[in-house]
């Protein structure tokens, strides 16, 4: 069955335009700041959208879940089923979107492709739906915390990819080369820990001939190193697999371990940084790696499609990162 799914042609959602009706759902944690959430809705409206919210968008279940798995899945399935809805946005990240995965109607989703965008725990849904429904999804922003104010960079990046079908990523920061090289492949990734948690399931995306992109936040380098090692041990970097890696903003990732006794007893090695750790992990792999790209747990995240072919050319004198085709039709 999974082999047959992989053979299905990739479907792109229709490009967005002013006047489109869109909806916001809560697939992970509950909304904690209604003021920020409502501001995010107004930002969506400022783009010309007619904005609705899912039936269970403000539900709280068991303190840290935005409803039962059945309620959260019902909102997402209904959002895809509705012909008048053109895009689906996630209210906030968190955890446990994976509880919804067995409850989603992937055939329904494939028959009704539309822009689905989020980040953090949304990575779980974006990659699972790409894998099982073979539609392009979008890693970008969440409504409560990261779209509550009109941010020109994030808005322009989103419109460039999802309205205009642009293929060039807008640049805000100084991107850095960790390992030079050139690669072409389909973009897959998102939040590192959420992505790694899909390993070994029927929802993990096909990474053959791919370029991975990762962000992580509020964690320790020990956990980042562990997650990357899991990907290596799973065989993702064998020939024909991953061709390159793009790291975004690694916000509040402490270089060290949650076990403070280790640092107290042994100290931190000189020049022990997240970049040196990443280069050490991938020292035997001849793939380009760049970092500090404009996505992650930040107030100005770019929009990156999952499933679309891209090019990464990492040189000491410059970096090219672009799509080889539009992400929308």
Q: Which of 79, 87, 93, 73 is CA-nearest to residue 20?
A: 87
pLDDT at residue 150 in the model: 72
* 1 within a domain of the structure (yes/no): no
How many contiguous H segments (helices) and E segments (strands) does the chain have?
11, 13
214 and 137 assigned to the same domain: no
222 and 303 assigned to the same domain: yes
pLDDT at residue 147 in the model: 83
Mean pLDDT, 10 residues at a time, the chain of 329 residues: 75 98 98 95 96 98 97 98 98 96 98 97 98 98 85 95 97 96 98 98 98 96 97 96 97 93 86 93 97 95 98 95 98
Q: Which of 144, 165, 171, 136 is CA-nearest to residue 44?
A: 144
187 and 150 assigned to the same domain: no
Q: Which of 5, 7, 323 is CA-nearest to residue 165?
A: 323
pTM of the full structure: 0.96
Last residue of a domain, one of 131, 162, 193: 162
Last residue of a domain, one of 129, 162, 195: 162
pLDDT at residue 271 in the model: 78
The CATH number given to whatever domain includes residue 20 is 3.40.50.10740
Sheet holding 50-53, edge to edge: 50-53, 21-25, 85-90, 115-118, 137-139, 304-306
Q: Helices 221-233 and 274-281, interaxial angle, to 10°?
A: 20
152 and 35 assigned to the same domain: yes
* 328 within a domain of the structure (yes/no): no
CB half-sphere exposure, 18, CA atoms < 13 A: 3
181 and 249 assigned to the same domain: yes
pLDDT at residue 3 in the model: 59
Euclidean distance between CA atoms 242 and 245, whole angstroms: 8
* 167 within a domain of the structure (yes/no): no
* 329 within a domain of the structure (yes/no): no
156 and 277 assigned to the same domain: no
The count of structural domains within the chain is 2
98 and 129 assigned to the same domain: yes
* 170 within a domain of the structure (yes/no): no
213 and 102 assigned to the same domain: no
Last residue of a domain, one of 106, 134, 162: 162
28 and 158 assigned to the same domain: yes
129 and 180 assigned to the same domain: no
193 and 135 assigned to the same domain: no
* 168 within a domain of the structure (yes/no): no
136 and 214 assigned to the same domain: no
SS3 for 81?
A: helix
pLDDT at residue 87 in the model: 98
The range of the structural domain enclosing residue 249 comes to: 176-323
pLDDT at residue 2 in the model: 58
């Amino acid at each position: 069955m999974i082999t047959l799914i992989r053979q299905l042609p990739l479907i792109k959602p229709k490009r967005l335009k002013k006047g489109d009706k869109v909806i916001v759902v809560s697939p992970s944690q509950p909304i904690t700041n209604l003021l920020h959430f409502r501001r995010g809705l107004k930002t969506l409206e400022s783009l010309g959208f007619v904005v609705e919210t899912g039936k269970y968008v403000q539900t709280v279940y068991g303190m840290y879940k935005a409803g039962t798995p059945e309620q959260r899945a019902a909102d997402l399935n209904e959002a895809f089923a509705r012909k008048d809805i053109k895009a689906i946005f996630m209210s906030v990240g968190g955890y446990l979107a994976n509880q919804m995965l067995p409850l989603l109607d992937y055939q329904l989703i494939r028959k009704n492709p539309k822009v689905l965008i989020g980040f953090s725990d949304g990575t779980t849904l974006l990659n699972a739906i790409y894998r099982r429904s073979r539609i392009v999804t979008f890693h970008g922003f969440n409504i409560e915390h990261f779209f509550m104010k009109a941010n020109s960079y994030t808005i322009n990046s989103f419109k460039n990819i999802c309205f205009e079908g642009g293929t060039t990523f807008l640049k805000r920061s100084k991107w850095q080369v960790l390992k030079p090289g050139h690669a072409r492949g389909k973009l897959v990734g998102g939040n590192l820990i959420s992505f790694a948690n899909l390993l070994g399931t029927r929802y993990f995306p096909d990474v053959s001939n791919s370029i991975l992109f990762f962000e992580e936040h509020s964690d320790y380098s020990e956990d980042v190193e562990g997650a990357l090692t899991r990907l290596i041990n799973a065989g993702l970097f064998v020939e024909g697999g991953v061709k390159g890696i793009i790291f975004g903003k690694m916000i509040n990732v402490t270089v060290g371990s949650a076990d403070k006794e280790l640092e107290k007893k042994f100290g931190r090695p000189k020049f022990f940084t997240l970049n040196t750790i990443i280069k050490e992990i991938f020292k035997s792999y001849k793939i380009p790696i760049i970092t500090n790209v404009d996505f992650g747990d930040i107030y100005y995240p770019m929009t990156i499609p999952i499933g679309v072919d891209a090019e990464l050319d990492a040189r000491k004198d410059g970096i090219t990162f672009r799509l080889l085709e539009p992400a929308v039709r």
